[in-house]
Every structure is written in C-alpha cells, then in structure tokens.
Structure 1
C-alpha cells in the first residue's frame, strides 16, 4: 500500500506542471495521485497499521493535504476491507500546504505576473522554465532590471561593470546564464548569434586577448613604436594595424619569441607569439591574406595540428623548421602528448608523413631545443 512519503514524492513530480499551469493562467483541477492497488498483507494488525498511517496524514486528520475515497474491497487474504481507492488533492491550497510550497508559489506568481506585464514575449520561456524562476527568485527583480536596460539599449558598447543598472557591480557576471536566455528572446534582432562569449554576443566591451609580437625591422620599430620592438595590443587593434609588413613569423612558444630577438634583423617582418591553440585569435586578421605567413611550432602532433588550424584560416601559410631533417638532427627521444584527432589535416605530403611518424611513436622535439646556430642558419622566410 502506498505511504504518505510516497504520496509526497509523487506530488512533487507534479509540481512543475502545476507551476506551468499557473503561468498559463489555467485553473487548478483536482490532482489525482495514483496509489498501489495491490494489498498483500496477510496479518490484519499490519494491514490496519498501514491504513491508519495513510489516514493520519490526510486532509481529514490534519485539515489540508490529500483526500481519500474508500471502498469496500475484497482482498486476497483478509476478505472484504474498507480501502482507499482514490487519493487526490481537491484544492490548490491542499496541494501547496502539503508540499510546504505556499510561500514559494506566492513569490513565483508575483514574479511571473510582473514579468509578463513587462515582457509578454517571455511567456513561453516561463512555461518551459518555472524552476529557473524559483531558483533565481531572490534575484528576479534585478534580473528584470538588466533585461529592461538591454531592451532599451541593445548595443551598449560598455564594459559589464560600467553599465548604468542599479544592481551590484558583479551581479550580471554571476547571473549570466539565465540573463543570456532571456536576452536571446528579448533582443534577438540585435545579438550576435554566432558568438558564445556573453560580452561579444550582447555588444559589450570586454577584456580582449592580447597579441604579442616582436618587430624585427628596426626602421619600423623606430618609425611607428619609438624604438620599442616587444609589443602587445588587443586583438581588435592588431586586426586593423597598418604597417609596412611583408612577412610574419608565428612561433608557438614564448621562449622562442625571446630567441627571435637575437636573430639577424629582418626587413619588413614581425614575429608573433601564437601561444599554441590561442592562434585562433588571429583568424580574422584580414591583412594576413596579402603577406607572406610562416609558422614555426614544436615538431610534435600538436605542433602540426596547430599549423593545420592556422592554414585553415590562411591557406598560403608555410611551415619553417618543422621538417624531418631538423627533427632527425636534434631529436632527444622526448615523449609527446597523444592525440585523438583523426580528421584530415591541412598539411603538405612531407608534413603529413612526419606527423604520422610522430603520432605513431608519440615523439616530440620542442622548438626551443633546436640550437640557435642551427636556427640562424636555416630559418628561411623567403
């Protein structure tokens, strides 16, 4: 026979649909709980104990909660007995007091009512996500303040913490997930749907990644940077940089970037710290399409995979010092990091052959282990 605890569990499962009906303004209907219709007790005292337990927590005894309807039913072992054949909540008050959710629902109704008055477009979202409203109940008023601001200013072009919204400075950062869902609906025509980062998606300023580069031409460093040759600027500024550059060398590791400074100076050339897979930050540099691009990475599977990624952005890119001759001459039998990538890479036949050897044996030659003299004699950017 079903117990009061089991009735509560089943009632809890109906809570979300109840909340959804509230948002949809549907009246409460008698809510039936399906009970266990098999009665297997062979001892009358045990049977009587179960019956009394379920009655003790019913509306008849405590003034709210589930109601019971009884019928005289023939049991297998105890003959005819008066048993509860229907368990139901007759009113909304009975249901909520039984679950201990009355105050929670009052706040939920207040929040959803104000939300629908302010943003009718959110009705479908509210119906689908009542538990998110409950989970964010304490902050719901502030969440709507943020939504109201963006509705009126869909392209703020400000940093998150300088938005003129009367909420805590870190509030939006802490509540980005639910705010994002709401703004996707409310200002859908203004968002950048392809962007995942909140700031980019909703037209905000943000702390951009920095592109660090070395100017290898003294004339350029003196004319444009007061003699400075080790520079870092935001991606957006790097994308529009206008310098008389003909060649770019992208290196994978920071140590190698330092080494570049000791190389003979190269005219019209800069070297960029690619920082491994962060090379994605360079993908929108359109002026790369009209200059010579060279990539120098570790001779391991990741180095060639990053080269392939870079060449996916700029097909004319060439690799330097990532050949079998360099590998055979300087390899010290270091282990690499295994890869799970199986897709076809943007590599030349020679690069692919070396990549296969590295992958099969899990080998690695880090670029900083190549002696400077060898680099100086073999780094060819022509």
Structure 2
C-alpha cells in the first residue's frame, strides 16, 4: 500500500507542471495521485496500522492536503475491508499547503506578473523555466533593470562594471547565467550567438588575454620597444603588430620563456609564451601566416596535443626539441597526465609514433629539463 512519503514524492513531481499552468492561466483541476500499490498484508494489525498512517496525513485529519476515497474490497486474508482507491487534491490550497509551497507560489505569481508586464516576450521562457523564476526570487527587480538597459542599448561597448545601471557593481557578473538566457530572447538580433563568453556575446568590453613575448633580436627591441625585450600586450593589439621578423618560437612553459634570451643570437625572431592550450588566443594572428613558426613544448601527450591544436591554425608549424632522441637522452621516468583524446592528431608520422609511446606508458619529459647546452647547440643549427 502506498505510504504518506510516497504520496509526498509523487505530489512534488506535479509541482513544475502546476507552476506552468499558472503562467498559462489554466484553472486548477482536481489533481490525482496514482496509488500504484495493491494491498499485500496478511495481518489485520499491520493493515490497520497502514490505513491509520495514510489517514493521519489526509485532509480529513489535518484540514488540508489529499483526500482519500475508500471502497469495500474483498481481500484474500482479511475478508472485506475498506481500502483507499483514490487519492487526490481538490483545491490549489490543499495542494500547496500539503507541499508547504504557499509563500513560494505567492512570490512566483507576483514575479511572473512583474516580468510579463516588462517583457511579455518572456512568457515562453518562464513556462520552460519556472524553477529559475523561483531560484531568483529576490533578484527580479535588478535583473529586469539590466535587461531593460540592454534592450535600449544592445551594443553597450562598456566593461561590465562600467554599465550605467543602478544595481550593485558586481550584480551582472554574479548573475551572468540567468541574464544571458533572458538577453538571448530579448535582444536576439544583436547577440553574437557563436560567442560563449558573456562579454563577447553581448557586445561588452572585457579584460583581454595578454600575449607575452620576448624579442630575441636586439635591433628590433631597440627600434620598436625602446630596448624593452620582455613584453605583454592584449591579444587584439598583438594581432595588429607589424614587426620585421621572419621567425616565431612558441614555448609551452613560462620557465622556458625566461631562458630564451640565453639562446644563440636570433635575427628577426620573437619567442612567445603559449601557456599550454591557451595557444588558441593566437589563432587570429594572421601575420603569422607568412612566417616560420616553431613550437617547443613538453614531450608528453599534452605537449603534442597542443602542437596539433596550434598546427590547425598554422599548418607550417614545425616542432623543435620534441623528438625521440631528446626524449631518450633526458627522460627521468616522470609520469605524465593521462589523456582522453582519441581523435587523430595533426602530427607528422614521427611525432605520432612518439605520442603513442608517451600515451601508452604515461611518460613525460618537461622541456625545462633539457639542458641549456643541448638547447643552444640545437638552435645554433636552426
């Protein structure tokens, strides 16, 4: 026989559809809870205990909640007994008081009214997301202020904290998820739908990634940067650089970047800190297309996966110091980080063979463990 807890669980599963019916302005209909259980007890004492338990939580005893309808049924072991054949809620008040949701639904109704008064076009969103209306119960005044601003200024070109909206300076940052969903509906024609980052998606300024690079040719550093050779600038500015260089060396680790100035003199060359998979920040640097590109990463699976990623942007990229000879010479039995990547990588045959060895054995040789003497000799011939 069904228990009061099971009745509660089944009733709670009806709650979302009830909220949706409120938005659609449908009147409350008798809400039936399926019992799904037949009587199996052979002891009259157990039977009476179960019946009393169900009845004790019903509207008959508590003044609200579910109503029970009984019918005389002939049982196998106990003869004819009154068994509950129907469990239902007669009114909205019975349903909500049983769930303890009266105040929550009052707030929901009020917020739905406020939202639709401002933006009737959000009705479908509310129907699909009633729990999000409830989850942001005390925020709607501020959320709607933000939405109203973007509706009137769909291309703000401000940093988030510069937005002239009378909310806390961190409010938008802390509520990006819900605001994003609403703006996707409200200003869809201005949304950069291919962009995942909030600022890019909604035409805001943002703190761009910095590209850090070292100028390995002193003539260039003197001419263009007043002798400064260690530089970091926003990626949009880096994309516009116009330097008389012919070669770019991208290194995976910061430690290796520090040592690049000790390399043999390299005319017309800069070295860039790729910062692992952050090499994607370089994908739109189109002045790279005509340059000689060298990539130097760790000899591990991630190093080759980053090389493959970078090569999808710039097919001419050549790996350096990532060969089996260097690995066999300096490997110190270090473990790597396992990978879940199974797709074919953009590697040469030799690189792919070494990649498979590293992947199978979970091995790693970090690039900074290759002695500088060996590195310098390599670049002397590069």
Q: TM-score, normalised by structure 1?
A: 0.91
Structure 2: distance between partners of 1:288 and 1:298: 22
SS for the counterpart of 1:352 is helix
Partner of 2:185: 185
- The question of whether the paired residues in 1 share the 8 Å contact of 2:263 and 2:379 is answered with no
User: How far apart are the structure 2 equivalents of 1:308 and 1:112?
Assistant: 50
Report the CA distance shift for 1:335/1:35 in structure 2 as closer, same or farther (over 3 A).
Answer: closer
- Counterpart for residue 28 of structure 1: 28
Establish whether residue 212 from structure 1 lines up as the match of residue 212 from structure 2: yes
Gaps of 5+ in 2: none
**Higher mean C-alpha deviation, range 215-224 or range 102-111:** 215-224
Deviation at 1:380, TM superposition (A): 5.8
What corresponds to 2:55 in structure 1?
55
Alignment of 1:1-382 (within 5 A): 1-35=1-35, 38-379=38-379
**TM-score of the aligned structures, taking structure 2 as reference length:** 0.91
Please, which moves more after superposition, 52-61 or 306-315? 52-61
Q: Is the 8 Å Cα contact of residues 156 and 203 (structure 2) preserved in structure 1?
A: yes
State the secondary structure of the residue aligned to 2:267: coil
Between 35-44 and 105-114, report the one with greater CA deviation: 35-44
Deviations 1:168-211 (A, max 9, x none): 22222222222222222222222222222222222222222211
Give RMSD over aligned pairs. 2.3
CA distance in 1, matches of 2:117, 2:228: 58
CA contact under 8 A between 1:194 and 1:201: conserved in structure 2? yes
CA shift for structure 1 position 28: 0.6
Measured against aligned partners, the alpha-carbon deviations of 1:236-270 in whole angstroms (never above 9, x if no partner) come to 21112222222111111222211111224322211
Query: 1:80–1:372: structure 2 CA closer, same or farther, 3 Å change rule?
Result: closer
Q: Distance in 1 between matches of 2:131 and 2:327?
A: 58
- Measured at CA, do residues 299 and 63 of structure 1 come closer, stay the same or move farther in structure 2, by a change above 3 Å? closer
Residues 23-57 of structure 1: CA distance to partner in whole angstroms, max 9, x if unpaired? 11111111112225633444445444443443343
